[in-house]
């Protein structure tokens, strides 16, 4: 049976408002850098996050509770496919202030419900488990950079 969720978190040396601004760029975790800069997540917004290495991924904003919670649905195991309930997972970002820092927690769930062979589901969990570690490290570095003047 495929694991159903991935949970990761990191403490970022930046205020909640700065981290929120970056998390609210739809598809930031997979899209080519700068693709959606200035785009703000709104419930129901759908975009295609293009990544030259991994392909094109449909992303839909599910819920926005600024500035502490945001969820997206994406079809990570099915690059180029249209987004459906059967081919997508839910990615939830929760932000919490800790003094002048921000804790960012990500939970991706729904792998067991993917309409695909067991090996496809298991591979999606493996790929995304490593992927989130890389994404959070890069995101932390980006968020901790001083804002451009």
Q: Which domains are delineated in the chain?
A: 5-143 (3.30.530.20)
Could you tell me if 91 and 68 are in contact, meaning their C-beta atoms sit under 8 angstroms apart? no
- Residues belonging to the chain: 149
Contacts of 134 (CB under 8 A, 6+ apart): none
Q: What is the pLDDT of residues 107-148, one digit of tens each?
A: 999 999 999 999 999 999 999 999 999 999 999 999 999 877
Give the lowest-confidence range in 4-8, 18-22, 38-42, 116-120. Answer: 38-42
> pTM here?
0.93
| Average pLDDT over every residue of 52-70 | 94
Mention every residue, 6+ apart, whose C-beta is less than 8 A from residue 142: 22
* Averaged pLDDT for residues 57-64: 96
Assign 35 a pLDDT band (cuts: 50, 70, 90).
confident
d(CA 147, CA 17): 12
pLDDT mean over 79-93: 94
Question: Which of the four pLDDT bands, split at 50, 70 and 90, describes residue 149?
Answer: low
> In the structure encoding, which two tokens stand for residue 72, read together?
């997206």
Tell me what pLDDT residue 134 has. Answer: 93
Task: Please tell me the predicted confidence (pLDDT) of residue 2.
Answer: 65
Burial class (CB in 10 A: 0-12, 13-18, 19+), 8: middle
pLDDT band at 1; cut points 50, 70, 90:
low
So what's the pLDDT on residue 5?
A: 95
- Residue 85 scores a pLDDT above 90: no
């Amino acid at each position: 049976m495929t694991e159903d969720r991935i949970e990761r978190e990191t403490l970022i040396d930046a205020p909640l408002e700065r981290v929120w601004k970056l998390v609210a760029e739809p598809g930031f975790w997979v899209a080519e850098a700068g693709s959606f800069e200035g785009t703000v997540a709104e419930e129901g917004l759908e975009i295609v996050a293009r990544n030259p290495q991994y392909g094109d991924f449909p992303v839909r904003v599910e819920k926005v509770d600024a500035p502490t919670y945001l969820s997206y649905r994406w079809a990570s195991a099915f690059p180029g496919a249209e987004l459906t309930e059967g081919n997508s997972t839910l990615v939830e970002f929760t932000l919490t202030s800790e003094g002048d820092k921000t804790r960012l927690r990500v939970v991706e769930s729904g792998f067991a419900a993917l309409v695909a062979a067991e090996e496809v589901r298991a591979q999606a969990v493996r790929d995304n488990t490593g992927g989130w570690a890389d994404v959070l490290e890069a995101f932390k570095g980006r968020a901790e950079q001083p804002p451009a003047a």
